[in-house]
Structure 1
Amino acid sequence: MLLAETDASGLVLVDAGIGLGDIADPSGRLHDDWIEIAGPVLDPGAAAVRQVVALGYQPEDVRHIAVTHLHRDHAGGLSDFPEADVHLFEAERVDGGKTPKQLAHGPKWVTYEGGGDVWKGFAGVRPLEGVDEDIALVPLHGHTPGHAGVAVRDGDRWLLHAGDAYMYHGEVDRAEPVTHPLMELVQMGGEVDREQRLEGVARLRELVLDPEGDVEVFSSHDPWELRRYV
């Protein structure tokens, strides 16, 4: 998850993680087989809404949520922010979600399809509607039908949250990429279009390895990347 504080558009959250409803009813909302495989931390204090409050904000201060995709570990917390606009590609809203309980509250969808801008070599990039600051959905399809990265301008650099486009830094931080055996099994078990996903990863690698670049790329599940920000 990534939280952006803006001057004019309130708080913008990238992904909502596992929510309080999931933690209260893990078997019903997350399912025991997934819990056994993924081993999620089911701590209410780790939920996005609790972290927002710990920073001194209120849940309603989160006015926009950009989701990389609708898997349960990314969308479960949407119900903790029922008034937020939820931004995603239309293909993801239609085909990407297998999380009916996490979406039962009826999110306030803002969907995007077709057109868009070119940003850092990516076509079809869509700035978030209703957000004045430079925050945009970047097509990184393949993990799911409408999977997106989310680009956020931070001063003179960009942060690019790549979601689950890749799961291990070795895929993007060296000229000869390497995968993590366990993370690769997880990725292959869930992706819907491997060729499309790897095309996006190749472009991410170019950004990471560009010595003149101004984009900092990170993903959702790599603990080594997370240590940069701790």
Structure 2
Amino acid sequence: MSNWEVHAVKYADRNARTRADSFILADNHDAPHAMDYFVWLLRKGSELILVDTGYDDAEATARGRPIRMDPRAALAPLGVTPDDITRVIVTHLHYDHAGGLHLFPNAQLHLQAAEMAFATGPCMCHDPLRAPFTADHICEAVKRLYAGKLVFHDGDAEVADGVTVHCIGGHSRGLQAVRVRTDAGWLVLASDAAHYYENLWARKPFPIVVDLQDMLDGFDRLQTLASAPGLIVPGHDPLVTTLFPRGVADHITRLDQGPMGKVPQ
């Protein structure tokens, strides 16, 4: 029974943000609060699983949120090409997590059924709920479904030996976290179940939320899934790149050996 490598691959960042963008009822709400954008690569021998796809230059232009590099180029230092990716876990269908589905044409997608229902259902009649989604990305997921290349999960499920998904909800109806068996123990890629360490440990909810109770309950669930508090990895926190060792390139961070020091709690 071997363990997985886990690489956090940063492809974008956004510095023109404040704490009000990250926390409901934020203290010092006008203070700057940067955000990093990642995809995550899992590797075990010849097996590869990509967690989320990021978004491309077209989406960056449409939203006015530039990226530092195309997600395909960001993965290149790991020796991975888009055609090598045959499995993608889609944590949820927001633009920054599913905006690059078309970049990985060989991939079978793993998605919570609740997320597809949410992104294609009556909730999308409301502008604030629809805003983080882009119709073309949802259509790409539907095309994969009709091509027989989408697997739906309902709650907890195993994607591969040592890789499981767990529906958390809160931020989006079918948001799922990913649990990975590593040398350091069970590591949890929280994705947007906790954007920042402070969301998780200070119980400060993120403002983009469809169900606040699910988001708050999800913070507790993340702790039950990880072997240790330091093995919960937030989805957008710049601290991740300083708390974990640098990987094979400046924009890649190695997660599977655990953090180099104590994570903020």
Shift of 1:205: 4.5
The structure-2 alpha-carbon separation of the partners of 1:194 and 1:21, relative to structure 1 and needing over 3 Å to count, comes to: same
The 8 Å contact of residues 19 and 79 in structure 1, kept in 2 or not, is answered as: no
2:150 to 90, 94, 109: 109
Partners of 1:50 and 1:164 in 2: CA distance = 23
> In structure 2, what is the equivalent of residue 15 of structure 1?
52
**Runs of 4+ residues deviating >6 angstroms:** none
Q: How does 1:111-130 map to 2 (within 5 A)?
A: 111-113=152-154, 124-128=155-159
Shift of 1:144: 0.7
The 8 Å contact of residues 119 and 138 in structure 2, kept in 1 or not, is answered as: no
Q: Which has the higher helix share?
A: 1
Partners of 2:76 and 2:138 in 1: CA distance = 22
Percentage identity across paired residues of the two chains: 29
Could you give the per-residue CA deviations for residues 96-137 of structure 1, whole angstroms, max 9, x where no partner exists? 473221244423321112xxxxxxxxxx42001xx3x31111
In structure 1, runs of 5+ residues without a counterpart are 114-123
Shift of 1:54: 2.9
The 8 Å contact of residues 48 and 86 in structure 2, kept in 1 or not, is answered as: yes
> In structure 2, what is the equivalent of residue 51 of structure 1?
74
Partners of 2:164 and 2:81 in 1: CA distance = 24
The structure-2 alpha-carbon separation of the partners of 1:93 and 1:215, relative to structure 1 and needing over 3 Å to count, comes to: farther
Q: Secondary structure at the match of 1:92?
A: helix
Matched, 1:100 2:135: yes
The 8 Å contact of residues 49 and 77 in structure 1, kept in 2 or not, is answered as: no
Partners of 1:228 and 1:153 in 2: CA distance = 19
In structure 2, runs of 5+ residues without a counterpart are 1-38, 121-132, 247-265
Partners of 1:164 and 1:57 in 2: CA distance = 25
> In structure 2, what is the equivalent of residue 163 of structure 1?
191
TM-score under structure 2 length normalisation = 0.64
2:239 to 210, 221, 224: 224
The structure-2 alpha-carbon separation of the partners of 1:126 and 1:178, relative to structure 1 and needing over 3 Å to count, comes to: closer
Q: Which has the higher contact order (CA 8 A, sep 6+)?
A: 2
> In structure 1, what is the equivalent of residue 165 of structure 2?
137
> In structure 1, what is the equivalent of residue 103 of structure 2?
80
Partners of 2:230 and 2:186 in 1: CA distance = 5
Partners of 1:20 and 1:104 in 2: CA distance = 18
Matched, 1:213 2:231: no
User: Aligned Cα RMSD in Å?
Assistant: 2.4
Shift of 1:68: 1.2
Partners of 2:134 and 2:42 in 1: CA distance = 25
Instruction: State the AA in 2 paired with 1:70.
Output: L
